[in-house]
Structure 1
Amino acid sequence: MTKLHHLLGAGLLALACAVSPALAHPPIAAAPAPSFDQDRADILAMAGTFEVEFDMQESTRWDPAYTPLPNKLSGGNEVVRVIEDTGRKIVLQHLLVIEHEGKTMIIKHWRQDWEYEPARVLSYADRNEWRWDEIPEALRKGRWSQTVWQVDDSPRYGGWGQFESQAGVRRWRSSWTWRPLARRDAVRKPVYDRYLSINRHQPSPDGWIHWQDNTKLGLRDEKLVPFVQEYVLNTYTRKSDFNVKAADDYWAATKDYWTQIRALWDGIAAGGQGIGVTEEAETGTVVSGRLLELADEIKAGKTTTAKALTEAKALVAAKVRKL
């Protein structure tokens, strides 16, 4: 073999090694190392002022008789504030800011609670019931739970998961999570009545995204069956050229009231196996409408926080049950 052949052979070998998938692709980590400080930073970065786009698409039908809904786009402006941070627990409150006929309206929106290495999480169990799910000790290390609460601070869904980075993208990915119908679906009286979901929260250069993969299921002959797959991408883009002050003014006027309402729900859940409360398609829980009205009356100066709480506690005692 000539010297030239030796050089060509060595060069080809080097080229083969350079493009070998085993060497070109970094390994996929099965269990990322805990990164508490970075996790906290990513959660806290979801606070701020945003323009939000909600992109919803029923994609794959699992029932041949079902016709998927067309893609739906909506959006608005949202203020997200940190209302509690104890280090291992972070609570974010969302407030929608809506402009209508020259007036600014504030709607208290969803709330998300993040807890580090929790022992249990309050999860959607079945229609009108939320129960505690124990998290095995071996699965707690380095993980966070996310519990989402509805506009009246009643529970919506809870799951747990971990932050990880793959392909240079950082994300929190949930466990499989049961969820009740969103109002946008419930008002249509669809054949399905719940979702089984994976949620992802991911920071971006412009803000963050919340990506949901929802299997929509319903009862058929007393058995849960899937009807359709839905993908929801909520994009939060940092923006401040709207009436942020209106949201902050609403919260300043009503935060003491809502602190006590949160404590009311927490006390019911902590004292038993969970919470039972009836939901209606148009309003959410049967107590939701009045609880929100009482907050508006406080903001308008029509009642005091103390009087509103007296009525709210009586309403919850009559309509909400401890499991």
Structure 2
Amino acid sequence: MTKQTKMSKRAVIIAAALLIGAPVAAANAQAPVAATVSTQAPATAFERDRQAILAQAGQYRVHFDMRENVSFHADYDPMEEKLSGGSEIVRVVYDHGDRISLQHILVMAHGDQTVVIKHWRQDWVYQPQTVLTYTGPNQWSLTPVPEIERAGAWSQTVWQTDDSPRYGGVGHWTYENGLSAWTSNPTWRPLARRDAVRNPVYDRYLGTNRHILKPNGWVHIQDNMKMDGRNGSTPVAIVQEDVINTYDTSTSYTPKPGDDYWAATQAYWAGIRDAWDAVITRDGGVHVEEAPETGVVTGIPLMELAQKIQDGEITTEAALTEGRAIIALATTKD
């Protein structure tokens, strides 16, 4: 098999795996010893929030439940419920006190081999002055957060597999009724891959996020209003969707393939994050073409460079040179 054929097959696997509606299977192996979690009470409200965010790191079986519930358009019938699952590890990229980053990595069985896919990333910032929001199509902008709204609040910015942006929001952690929960303000979002590849009658979501801890993991709940704002028109509601992604702590598979991938590529991805951040700082946001299969056009080439690093086909420095050039070309406005 030629290298070109190998990379083409890899691209197909990446694109297929990123369609969250598709079922994925855990890689079976002897279970590792579970990590110990501190039960010491936090000293401050700020530290309590930090511990809630960091509690999302771990090793999980994930169950995806996506349901279109109510149509608000006479000619649109809600799709049937989609259920799927997979195995995913969540690792702390950095913890700078008031800034925390968590990286999700899928560890999946694909035939007789284990396939590792760098998945989404969530960054948390305490009392942020700005948040990167989707203002599309193809556009994300740094949006000021009013002082009254950022007091005691955390922003969460979600990034795609290639560390390009997806959406951002601001909210507070609360601890009422026995629940540790964070709820975002409503935010605009680009279509998820599961919808974008179908060329639907809507082109964006207005969504609200909730992250809630539970005894054996956590749950990510999204309330999405799917909207049609094509041709620059005022967006109108088409259908409402609930997405419930449940992360259950699991030791039924080994995380080693995912951790090996991250150890080999994390320096590359740190440089790619810096490249995206430089564009966002320079332009007050970023303009990059969306792509149905991979989020944006940089998705597969940046992911393939990381795989080449792990396979020993290219150095981190050489991959970063190519990666920065890919980002520069994709974010250059005509």
Scaled to the shorter chain, the TM-score interval is: 0.7 to 0.9
d(CA) in 2 for partners of 1:283, 1:152: 9
Which residue number corresponds to residue 244 of structure 2?
233
Deviates more, 1:162-171 or 1:310-319: 162-171
Contact 2:204-2:229 within 8 A present in 1 as well: no
Question: How far did 1:165 drift?
Answer: 2.5
Deviates more, 1:82-91 or 1:159-168: 159-168
d(CA) in 2 for partners of 1:110, 1:270: 21
Q: Aligned partner of 2:224: which letter?
A: N
1:176 aligns with 2:183: no
Change (3 A) 1:53 1:86: same
Which residue number corresponds to residue 216 of structure 1?
226
SS at match of 1:271: helix
Q: Aligned partner of 1:303: which letter?
A: I
Which residue number corresponds to residue 315 of structure 1?
326
Which residue number corresponds to residue 266 of structure 1?
277
Percent identical among aligned pairs is: 51
Unaligned runs of 5+ in 2: 1-43
d(CA) in 2 for partners of 1:67, 1:291: 37
Q: Which residues of 2 match residues 158-177 of structure 1 at below 5 A?
A: 158-177=168-187
Question: How far did 1:282 drift?
Answer: 1.7
d(CA) in 1 for partners of 2:197, 2:213: 32
Which residue number corresponds to residue 251 of structure 1?
262
d(CA) in 2 for partners of 1:95, 1:48: 11
Which residue number corresponds to residue 110 of structure 2?
100
1:127 aligns with 2:137: yes
Question: Considering only CA atoms, is the larger Rg found in Structure 1 or Structure 2?
Answer: 1
Deviates more, 1:84-93 or 1:301-310: 301-310
d(CA) in 2 for partners of 1:168, 1:310: 49
Contact 1:275-1:321 within 8 A present in 2 as well: no
- Which structure has more relative contact order (CA 8 Å, sep 6+)? It is 2
Question: How far did 1:219 drift?
Answer: 2.6
d(CA) in 2 for partners of 1:288, 1:96: 16
Contact 1:217-1:227 within 8 A present in 2 as well: yes
Structure with the largest fraction of strand: 1
d(CA) in 2 for partners of 1:59, 1:67: 9
Contact 1:272-1:322 within 8 A present in 2 as well: no
| TM-score, L = length of structure 2 | 0.85
d(CA) in 1 for partners of 2:163, 2:326: 14
Contact 2:203-2:230 within 8 A present in 1 as well: no
> Aligned pairs, how many?
290
Q: Which residues of 2 match residues 57-72 of structure 1 at below 5 A?
A: 57-72=67-82
Deviates more, 1:100-109 or 1:215-224: 215-224
Q: Aligned partner of 1:104: which letter?
A: T
Question: How far did 1:286 drift?
Answer: 0.9
Change (3 A) 1:322 1:164: farther
Match of 2:59 among 49, 58, 74: 49
SS at match of 2:135: strand
The root-mean-square deviation of aligned C-alpha atoms, in Å, is: 1.3
Q: Aligned partner of 2:111: which letter?
A: E
SS at match of 2:122: strand
Which residue number corresponds to residue 303 of structure 2?
292
1:234-264 CA distance string (max 9 Å, x none)? 0000012213000000000000000000000
Match of 1:36 among 36, 42, 46: 46
Contact 2:131-2:155 within 8 A present in 1 as well: yes
Match of 2:195 among 185, 191, 208: 185
SS at match of 2:158: strand
d(CA) in 1 for partners of 2:333, 2:223: 31
Question: How far did 1:199 drift?
Answer: 0.3
1:304 aligns with 2:278: no
SS at match of 1:166: coil
d(CA) in 1 for partners of 2:171, 2:333: 27
Q: Aligned partner of 2:285: which letter?
A: G
Deviates more, 1:162-171 or 1:144-153: 162-171
d(CA) in 1 for partners of 2:55, 2:81: 29
| TM-score, L = length of structure 1 | 0.88
d(CA) in 1 for partners of 2:270, 2:100: 14
d(CA) in 2 for partners of 1:171, 1:138: 20
d(CA) in 2 for partners of 1:250, 1:322: 33
Deviates more, 1:166-175 or 1:56-65: 166-175
